[in-house]
Amino acid sequence: MKTFAYFVLLSMVFSASFAYGYYEEASKNRKSIVHNRPARDPREFSLADELKPVASFLGKKGIGIETNARECIQHNIVGWHEAWSNRILLCTNRMRETTSTNREYNALLGETLAHEATHVAQFCRRKTNGVPYLGVSANKLYALPYSIQNSIKQATKTADAQLTSSLKWRVEAEAFYYESRPGEVAHLLRAYC
């Protein structure tokens, strides 16, 4: 029952930001931040304790979480933040297609939630003071692994058209930076939203 409640909460939580797509290549060979649990149904998942405050905060702010929307297929993505409709999309069918184990699936799900929630925090900051990024130092962003640098380039293709290419890169790089830091994402959400 608890797992179902988190699924419902997560489904209601996803939304807001500049409509950024998170490409599946990004999560290859990453540390799992989501507990491994056998899933009989692709919509089932178990959030790690570190992600529960993120999901809870998003739900309290009315940010909806939707799974497998048409954007998932149209943009070849595993996640999407759509600010104008105040929702986050999780493309769980695509996640299942691109992972071979439940552990990989849950890791990708957790990383995607943290990534898209980072875009929510960026959007909140942008609404408040006009700055569309969170201020992670350039040294930290440029130090991200080469595989992530390639994923950032891919993700900028779906980024907010109103931003310059350098700002698109920065907001995507920040989201990739924070996807393995859900505790920090929860803090960012509280600080800016």
Domain ranges for the chain, please list them.
2-192
Mean pLDDT of 5-12: 36
103: left (phi over 0), alpha (psi -120 to 50) or beta: alpha
Average pLDDT, the chain: 77
Q: Is the pTM of this model over 0.85?
A: no
Q: Looking at beta carbons, which pairs linking 95-99 to residues 24 or more positions away fall under 8 Å?
A: 95/24, 95/42, 96/42, 98/24
Residue 139 exposed, middle or buried by CB count within 10 Å (0-12, 13-18, 19+)? exposed
* Helix 182-192 vs helix 165-178: crossing angle, to nearest 10: 120
Mean pLDDT of 142-155: 88
The Cα–Cα gap between 59 and 57 comes to 5
| Whether residue 14 has pLDDT greater than 50 | no
Beta strands in the chain (DSSP E): 18-22, 64-67, 79-82, 87-90
pLDDT of residue 7: 37
User: Binning pLDDT at 50, 70 and 90, where does residue 75 land?
Assistant: confident
The amino acid at 77: I
pLDDT of residue 168: 87
